[in-house]
Structure 1
Amino acid sequence: MRLAALLLLALAAGCSPKPKVLRVCADPNNLPFSDARGEGFENKLAELVADELGMTVEYTWWAQRRGYVRNTLKEGQCDVWPGVATQVEMLATTQPYYRSTYVFLTRADRHLQLASLDDPQLRTLRIGVQMIGDDSSNTPPTHALARRGIVQNVRGYMLYGDYAQPNPPAEIVRAVDRGDVDVAVVWGPLAGYFAARAEHLLTLTPVTPWLDGPQWPMVFDISMGVRKDDLELRDRIDEALVRRAADVQALLKAYGVPAVAAPAV
């Protein structure tokens, strides 16, 4: 009997399930969001959620270029994208874990005090904007400035950038720091993180109006996204985010993410 019991224990140990894995889609060169060393806040968020769910993190690394979702989540290479716009059409998304805004980024020693897209200074200042590519899919501030006829004094910095360099989207922040442009209109989390590492003191001011016309918001809710048919995982992540809400907010604050309240409608 004793020998049989020992054999059963040995078999049970040999057949024990492997630790559950949270398979995360992430860019290996995209701070402050993620990088291959796990230093981005989306890396930390994934680890926090996985810990809450009793899972370990496994990454599928893929540069966030066009076709990112198609080549990662939809190919079954990974199961969750930690930083995606809430209710984006192609995915099922959690409740938002933060809300942030585009900001005017300037050097403090310039004392420009910009806040509105309607500020007349924008017609003469050198302005940096984040660009994606063709005009139909560029960032909201780019469209908002063009709608006002502010084009000739605008310089584009590619959101994708030179991937051979570290954290290519950060070039627009470096341009403000160097004085290549007078002001840049930058997505808040990127601006906040790299402004803290700039040579000069930089000022971040939320862009107003928060909604420029019916289709160009400056404020976005951000969630974790999964495949549309993976609602069970989405709901489990939602519950983990609620339970660890204080830790999530502390993480965002540590990375300089500018948080904003829900816009007044």
Structure 2
Amino acid sequence: MSGRASIGRWVRAGARAIGVGAGALGLVAVLCVAALEEAGANRLLRVCADPDNMPFSNSKEEGFENKLAEFIADRLGDELEYTWFEESTGYVPSTMGQGACDLVMGYAQGTGLIDDTNPYYYTSYVLIYRADDPDLKGVDRLSDKRLKNKRIGLFARTPPASLLAMIGLEDNAKPFETYAGESAAKTAEQMIAEIASGKLDAAILWGPVGGYFAQKADVPLSVVPLVKETAGPSIIYGITLGVRPNEPRFKHEINKVLAENQADINVILRDYNVPILTQEGELIAAGTADR
């Protein structure tokens, strides 16, 4: 994977984000399209989601995008219906005339692959390390000299990999791979376990993924949004909902729900330890696994 596709499995660009993971980022879109039911008591809100992609979604409807889909359907007075799609396939369905979706829950803003709503949160890649590591305490950017000679895990061919190369840290990086048909969440969990055990000094993950799995670690971990980098492209992203093209009324309806309920949406995200940022990169809700 490369570019935006590199975090396609974390950010429903059809990366979360991995995770995680964003730079000239071409996310894999999972957008199915169908005509919206006429307004009525049994109107359906059809959502495309991955059945095994925590913390975003799963078939048990345990992810934060599942919770957001339920929230939106409730506000619209619609019945929620899922079409399950494994994003790891990299398949991008046609956006016209076939499929069964009205919404894709986590679509990176500005990819141009499909239409999208206003962002419902901003987030970034994060640096994760043991909270009790005296060598790394307070590190908040990859250019910090204390990271030199440290073993840093990350997903191969993601924007942070290019950034590490620019800074000169690639020799000590440990790239992780996720192959078609595999859940990237399991690879993220492996990275977190290696930090906790000391096999890795740190890791770079897509914010929602890193925050979620770090809070489940056996030891306290620090989760630091990478918003202070001066090299390379920005790795802060606005996350939107993917919608059908040429449906301005429906798009306006969804935007209205997002705007009027941002505080409630943030509560959902905080429950999963998602680092929520302003568009300028200031932290709104801390992504921390310190206990």
Unaligned runs of 5+ in 1: 1-15, 132-137
Quote the residue 1:252 is aligned against.
269
Query: 1:34–1:205: structure 2 CA closer, same or farther, 3 Å change rule?
Result: same
Q: Is the 8 A contact 2:48 2:84 kept in 1?
A: yes
CA distance in 2, matches of 1:196, 1:99: 20
Quote the residue 1:139 is aligned against.
158
Query: 1:65–1:107: structure 2 CA closer, same or farther, 3 Å change rule?
Result: same
Quote the residue 1:198 is aligned against.
217
- Aligned ranges for residues 138-217 of structure 1 at < 5 Å? 138-158=157-177, 163=182, 167-210=186-229, 212-213=231-232, 216-217=233-234
What is the percentage of aligned positions where both structures have the same residue?
35
Quote the residue 2:16 is aligned against.
none
Does residue 1:47 correspond to 2:66, yes or no? no
Does residue 1:89 correspond to 2:106, yes or no? no
String of CA shifts for 1:178-230, please: whole Å, max 9, x gaps: 322110011111111111111111111121434633xx222111111113233
CA distance in 1, matches of 2:49, 2:213: 19
Q: Is the 8 A contact 1:225 1:234 kept in 2?
A: no
CA distance in 2, matches of 1:64, 1:72: 15
Query: 1:90–1:162: structure 2 CA closer, same or farther, 3 Å change rule?
Result: closer
**The structure with more helix, counted as a fraction of residues:** 1
Query: 1:116–1:168: structure 2 CA closer, same or farther, 3 Å change rule?
Result: closer
Q: Is the 8 A contact 1:73 1:80 kept in 2?
A: no
Q: TM-score, normalised by structure 2?
A: 0.75
Query: 1:246–1:110: structure 2 CA closer, same or farther, 3 Å change rule?
Result: same
Larger Rg: 1
CA distance in 1, matches of 2:40, 2:227: 53
Q: Is the 8 A contact 2:142 2:229 kept in 1?
A: no
Query: 1:235–1:199: structure 2 CA closer, same or farther, 3 Å change rule?
Result: same
Displacement of 1:145:
0.6
String of CA shifts for 1:93-125, please: whole Å, max 9, x gaps: 111111112111001121312211211233300
Displacement of 1:171:
3.0
The one-letter amino acid of 1:123's match is K
1:71 maps to which of 93, 108, 126: 93
Does residue 1:119 correspond to 2:138, yes or no? no
Quote the residue 1:9 is aligned against.
none
Query: 1:165–1:125: structure 2 CA closer, same or farther, 3 Å change rule?
Result: closer
Q: Is the 8 A contact 1:64 1:160 kept in 2?
A: no
* 3-state DSSP of counterpart to 1:263: coil
Quote the residue 1:231 is aligned against.
248
* 3-state DSSP of counterpart to 2:140: coil
Unaligned runs of 5+ in 2: 1-38, 282-291
* 3-state DSSP of counterpart to 2:132: helix
Q: Is the 8 A contact 1:91 1:226 kept in 2?
A: yes
The one-letter amino acid of 2:257's match is A
> What number of residue pairs does the alignment pair up?
240
CA distance in 2, matches of 1:240, 1:41: 17
CA distance in 2, matches of 1:125, 1:243: 45
